[in-house]
Amino acid sequence: MNEVFELIAVEKLMPHENVDQEAADELHQKLLRENKWTNPLVVSREGLVILDGHHRFEIAKRLHLRRVPAYLIDYHSTSVELRKWGTDDDLDKQIVLDAAKTKQMFPPKSTHHTFPKTLRQTNISLSLLR
C-alpha cells in the first residue's frame, strides 16, 4: 500500500456511513480537551471517499475545521480489505464507492476496512486545521 499524507479540505471528503451520535459526542469532547488531532482519516485517492474516520469527519464539521489530516490510499489495492463489521464476511469495495457517490449511507459501523500496516498518528493543533 502506497499511502500519501495530506491535509484535505473537509468539504471535498465523501462519507459512506452515518455516525453514532453518542460516540461522536464523546470524541468531540476528547478532541476539545486535547486540542489536537492525533488520528488521521484514511481516504481513497479516487473520489476522496472516507474509508476510516467517519466520526472524526463529523467532529471536523462540528468544529468548523477547514481541513483534516488524512492518508490517501489506493482503494483498489489487494492489500486493502473490506468486511462487514464484526464478521469475516467480505464485501465488494464498489458498494462503498457507490454509497458515497449516491449519498445512500450505511448505518454506523457497517463496514470495516483493514490495511496492511499501521499508519502513523499525528499531533496537530486544532488551530492549524481551522
pLDDT, one tens digit per residue, over 70-116 is 999 999 999 999 998 878 888 899 999 999 999 999 999 999 999 98
Tell me, what's the pLDDT at 1? 64
Contact status, residue 113 vs residue 52, Cβ threshold 8 Å: yes
The overall average pLDDT reported for the chain is 94
Tell me, what's the pLDDT at 34? 96
Backbone dihedral angles phi then psi of residue 42, each to the nearest 5 degrees: -115, 125
Tell me, what's the pLDDT at 89? 84
CATH number for 90:
3.90.1530.10
Q: Copy the grid coordinates of residue 60.
A: 471536523
Active-site residue list: 17
β-bridge mates for residue 19, sequence order: none
Contact status, residue 106 vs residue 99, Cβ threshold 8 Å: yes
Residue with more model confidence, 87 or 25 = 25
Structural domain including 61 reads 4-129
E strand segments, 49-121: 50-52, 67-73, 81-84, 111-114
Residue 2: band (very low, low, confident or very high) from pLDDT cuts 50, 70, 90: confident
Residue with more model confidence, 1 or 64 = 64
pTM: 0.93
SS3 content of the chain, % helix, strand, coil (to 5): 30, 30, 40
Number of domains in the chain: 1
Contact status, residue 117 vs residue 90, Cβ threshold 8 Å: no
Residue 23: band (very low, low, confident or very high) from pLDDT cuts 50, 70, 90: very high
